[in-house]
Amino acid sequence: MTDTLSKPLRLNTVSYPAALPGVALPAYDRDKVQIGVVHFGPGAFHRAHQAFYFDQLLATDPRWGICAVSLKSPGVRDALAPQDGLYTLAQLDAETTFRVVGAIREVLVAPEDPPSVFARLAAPTTRIVTLTVTEKGYTLSAEGGLDESHPDIVHDLANPREPVSAVGYLVEGLRRRHAAGLAPYAVVACDNLADNGWRLKSAVVAFAAKQDADLAAWIDAEGSFPRTMVDSITPATDDALRARVQTATGLEDAWPIQREAFTQWVVEDVLPADAPDLASVGVILTDDVRGFERAKLRLLNGVHSTLAYAGILRGHETVFEAVSDPALEALGRELMAKDIIPTLTPPRGLDLAEYADAIIARFRNPEIRHLLSQIAWDGSAKLPFRVLGTLTETLDAGRSIERLAIPLAAWMRFIALRAKAGEAITDPLAAKLTEIGAAATGDAKADVAAFLALDSVFPAKLTSNPTFVEAIEKAYADLA
C-alpha cells in the first residue's frame, strides 16, 4: 500500500496481498494453478460469472485455471496482462463486497496468436471449453443450424486451419485432439440461447462434416455439449466503479467487474467423468435445463417486463423504484404466485416459491440501477415468450387472465405514449408500432384492435378469443 498522496499500486501478483482488510483474496497458491479451461469471449459476464465459480473451485482443485481467449478485441488482454490476470469483482447488494479473482491465468487474442490458442485447445490438460460470445457468435441460421452463408463461416470453411469464428476454432481444436488420440474437451456454451449446447453441437458437427466425416462422427458420438442457463445482472464497468474499487481495495484496477450478489449457473448433467466438480461450488447439475429456463423466462423476465411498462406509466425510472411501489410489488407477487407458478412444473433443485421471493429481493437491490426503459424496448419480440405462453396456458385451463392482461395493455399504452411524444421506439416492428401508437385515441376497443392486428405478435388463437380481447380492453381502459 502507499500513502494517500501517492498513486496507488496497480493490482497484480505482487501487490494483491496488500489489499485493504475485508477484501476477499484468492484462497489458493496461484503458482500451482494449471490451465484446464479455455474460455472464448472473456467479457464482463464471464469474469463475473463462470470465472467466479472456477475461482472458488481452485481452492480445492488447482487443475481448473482459465486461458481466456478474445476472438477479436485485445481490450481484455491489455487491461489484465499488467495485472497478471487478476481483477476485482464487486458484488452489489445492501452491503457491497469485494473479491480479487485469480482464476484467469492467461489471456490470448486469437487473431494475434492462433498457434497459442490451438496449443491450449489441444493440450491434454484442457478438459473444458466455455463460451460467452453472444447469440450472434454462434453463427447460426434462422432455422437454428450452421449459417454457411455467414462471412466468418465462409472464410473458415475455405481456411479451416486459420479460423476466425468460435465454431471454426472449436472444430480445429477438436481435429487436433482427434489426431493426437486425445478425448474431446467438453464444450459449455454460456449464452442466453435456448438449447444452447445442442445448437452449438449441431453447428460444430455440420462444420466438421464439411472437412472430415470421421471427425464429425467422432465429435457427434464422443463430444459433450451440455445445455446451460446462466443468470446474474452485470452492469457495465465505468469510472465510478473503478474509483469505488480503488477506495475499497487500496489498489488500482484497470477493469474491475460488478454484478448483483445473486448468481445462478445451471448445467445439463452430461459432463464427462473427468470434468470439474462444479456442483461443489454451487453450480446446479440437472437433467431439466429447460425447466429452469422456462421458470426464469416466465417468472423473472415476465415480471421484469410487467414492471417496466406499468412502472413507466406510473412515472418510475428504475426497477428498484418500480418494485418499491406497493401496488406494483403486489402485482408482481400475485402474478408469480397466482398466475405464473401454476403453469410451471418445478425442475429438481428449484423451489418456485423461494425463487419468486428471490426475484423480488433482487429487484429491490438498491445498488443495481436497472432502467425500465432498457427492459421496455423490443416488446414485440419479448412479450410472446415472456407473457403470452403463460397467458395461453392459463386461458386453456379456464383460469382468469385479468392480471396477465396488464403487461400487454401496459405495453400498448407505453407505445402510444412514446409515439405521441415523438420519441423513437426501439423494436423490430418500430415503424408499424409508431404508426399504431400515434393513431391511438384512448378508446380501448379501437386501440387494442389495432395492436392485436399484429399477427407476428398475437396468434389468431388469442385474437379470435373474446375472453382474451375483453381482458386486454379492460386492462387498457383501467390504465388510462
337, 356 in Cβ contact below 8 A?
yes
What is the C-alpha separation between 431 and 424, in angstroms, rounded? 9
What is the C-alpha separation between 280 and 401, in angstroms, rounded? 42
What is the C-alpha separation between 299 and 288, in angstroms, rounded? 17
Residue 10 per-residue DSSP state: E
DSSP-H helix ranges across 18-59: 44-48, 50-57
Q: Using alpha carbons only, how large is the chain's radius of gyration in Å?
A: 24
Distance of CA 283 to the CA centre of its chain: 15
Counted residue by residue, the chain has a size of 480
Candidates 302, 330, 308, 338; CA nearest to 320 is 308
At 15, give phi and psi (nearest 5°). -90, -25
Q: What is the pLDDT of residues 113-166, one digit of tens each?
A: 999 999 999 999 999 999 999 988 999 998 889 999 999 999 999 999 999 999
pLDDT confidence of residue 1: 45
Candidates 71, 177, 70; CA nearest to 123 is 177
What is the C-alpha separation between 237 and 254, in angstroms, rounded? 10
Candidates 293, 287, 267, 104; CA nearest to 186 is 267
List average pLDDT for each run of 10 residues in the chain, which is 480 residues long: 68 97 97 98 97 98 98 96 98 94 98 98 98 93 92 98 98 98 98 93 98 98 97 93 97 97 96 96 96 96 97 97 98 98 94 97 92 94 94 97 98 98 95 98 98 96 97 97
169, 178 in Cβ contact below 8 A?
no
4 burial (CB, 10 Å; 0-12 / 13-18 / 19+) is exposed
Distances (CA, A) of 367 to 90, 233, 265, 374, 477: 11, 11, 22, 17, 35
What is the C-alpha separation between 93 and 364, in angstroms, rounded? 9
What is the CATH number that goes with domain 9-287? 3.40.50.720
The model carries a pTM of 0.87
pLDDT confidence of residue 7: 83
pLDDT confidence of residue 369: 87
Instruction: Give the start-to-end residue ranges of the domains of the chain.
Output: 9-287, 290-478
CATH topology assigned to domain 290-478 = N-(1-d-carboxylethyl)-l-norvaline Dehydrogenase; domain 2 (1.10.1040)
What is the C-alpha separation between 169 and 159, in angstroms, rounded? 11
